[in-house]
Amino acid sequence: MAQAPSAPAEGAGSGSPEAGTHPDRAYAGDQHAAPASGRPEAGRQAAPAAGRPETDPLRKAPAPAPGHAPGVDDAHRREQPSAPGPVPGHPNHRPDTPAPANGDRPLAHSADGKGPAPQRPEPRGGLLMGRPFGVPVYVAPSWFLVAALITWVFGGQLERVLPELGAARYLVSLFFAVAFYASVLVHELAHTVAALRFKLPVRRIQLQFFGGVSEIEKEAETPGREFVLAFVGPLLSLVLAGAFYAAAQTVEPGTVPGVLLAGLMISNLIVAAFNLLPGLPLDGGRMLRAVVWKITGKPMAGTVAAAWVGRALAVSVLIGLPLLTQSGALGTEAADNVGMDTVLDALLAAILAAIIWTGAGNSLRMARLREHLPELRARALTRRAVPVETDTPLSEALRRANAAGARALVVVDADGQPLSLVREAAIAGVPEHRRPWVAVSGLAQDLTDGMRVSAELSGEELLDALRATPATEYLVVEETGEIYGVLSAADVERAFVKAMARPS
């Protein structure tokens, strides 16, 4: 399962007030606003407010946080921030343009000098299989590798149990692999239905290496819901194991149906038992987190406890699984020497341990992000802007902005109503000697409704609003409709990365 502060990624949006008649309002903390005419007083420098970004707008932002590891198994809830443009994975996220050699400070951020930056399609996650309950289900390419491995291994077992099948045993084994992942899908659908019941958006379900992932975009509001959300997956796996056991009683043992039903019963029992282990990122870890959360009243305390138990589980799997298989405790023949089977067991244990360890670490990182999300406030991150009319030369617009201490330009009509935002990289792409002959309207991106955001937005609501309309700049307005300034996606990204790096 995936939970994100949108979040994750994978929330409630916010209305965007229409701009009013105050295009030259300075940002919070400014002691003076630009004159109503839109022409700031010459030589006046407005100091940025406390908490405002004061870095060069073209300075390269810190590297975004790395992506998250794939799910451990069919019950793992992968966490990822479903942040908007400013965070990694946003369609417009790209390295900043180098600062120009001239003295004019670029005032926005984009990809080139013309038109809005192209948007890349959101990663789909593999082959789309359907949309049960309106949630897309994807099969990742890694699944086909695992299906081939299951077909080969189970086919070898069928050769000992049903030698009369011959080469047809691999067809039977392939059917088992598909049926097993159908059980995994049922497990994930249990998580999905519970999430939808609690009004938590589910971005997608993905079947992949070692199982599946339900990407839930928001965190459960209470520990009770968190517990239920985690428990329904293993519960459905246990129900499926019982159903396959009951069906196996109706067929003759030692036949193809009998072997398939017995294999599916055992595999679902293993899935349920593994997921009930009390460590993140497994469902049992989510359940432990909910219990600690309920006792302490602190979600972060539950996450820390369950994550460290998850890391202990990773070490136990790394060391214990090869020892158990070599000793014969798992039903295999004990081996005194190191053979190919022992090496494969050790490799499997290392992969499982690495995924569990990484998932536990990601859970800690995402919990820390949720703690710091309220620090992302549109009012604190907004750049001061000055209004300019469409035919204003770029050199004149930059002179006004520098005189006012502003870092953004808003193109307005004759009545002072905002029309578009001048993009930072578009300015950087114009040589200084040509700026007196280039109008700002040719470097601006037209405003859409989604590019107007309220100055009161913060945290998850801010990220949701920006994610709903990916762009490089946004016009920030007061509740009254007057212009407050311009919010750069690059500035939000820097604040996002800074929040991720700050200790809890």
Least confident piece of the model among 89-98, 312-321, 330-339, 403-412? 89-98
Q: Going by C-beta distance under 8 Å and a sequence separation of 6 or more, which residues neighbour residue 297?
A: none
User: What does the pLDDT read at residue 499?
Assistant: 73
Q: How confident is the model at residue 332 (pLDDT cuts 50, 70, 90)?
A: low
The CA distance from 467 to 94, in Å, is 16
pTM: 0.62
Element (H, E) at 486: strand 483-488
pLDDT at 340: 61
256-275 helix and 223-248 helix, angle to the nearest 10 degrees: 160
d(CA 470, CA 495): 17
Distance CA(447)–CA(472), nearest Å, equals 11
Which one is predicted more confidently, 340 or 282? 282
- The per-residue pLDDT for 43 is 32
b/e burial code for range 365-398 (CB count within 10 A of at least 16 → b): bbbbbbbbbebbbbbbbbbbbbbbbeebebbebb
In tens, the pLDDT along 178-228 reads 999 999 999 999 999 999 999 999 999 999 877 889 999 888 999 999 999
- Compute the average pLDDT of residues 95-115: 36
Answer yes or no: is pLDDT of 262 > 70.
Answer: yes
Q: Is the pLDDT of residue 471 over 50?
A: yes
Q: Does residue 61 surpass a pLDDT of 80?
A: no
Question: Which has the higher per-residue pLDDT, 48 or 459?
Answer: 459
Q: Are 393 and 435 in contact (CB under 8 A)?
A: yes
From the CA atom positions of the chain, what is the Rg in Å?
28
Q: What is the mean pLDDT of the chain?
A: 76
Cα separation, 309 vs 332, whole angstroms: 28
pLDDT exceeds 50 at position 73: no
In 92-166, the DSSP E strands lie at 127-130, 137-139
| 475: pLDDT strictly greater than 80 | yes
Confidence band, pLDDT 50/70/90 cuts, at residue 254: confident
- Assign 330 a pLDDT band (cuts: 50, 70, 90): low
The predicted pLDDT at position 107 comes to: 42
Chain centroid offset of residue 422 CA: 29
Rounded Cα–Cα distance for residues 3 and 291 (Å): 18
Confidence of residue 44 (pLDDT cuts 50, 70, 90): very low
Q: How far is CA 51 from CA 27, 308, 377, 383, 455, in A?
A: 12, 34, 10, 11, 15
Please report the pLDDT score of residue 502 as a whole number.
67
Sorting pLDDT into bands at 50, 70 and 90, what band is 324?
confident
Encode pLDDT of 138-187 as tens digits: 999 988 988 998 999 888 888 888 888 888 999 999 999 999 999 999 99
Q: How many helices (H) and strands (E) does the chain have?
A: 12, 11
Q: What percent of the chain stands above pLDDT 90? A: 45
Q: Name the band, by pLDDT with cuts 50, 70 and 90, for residue 452.
A: very high
pLDDT, residue 295, reads 96
Gap between the Cα atoms of 214 and 245, Å rounded? 27
pLDDT at residue 132 is higher than 80? yes
More confident residue, 320 or 400: 400
Distance CA 164, CA 469 (A): 61
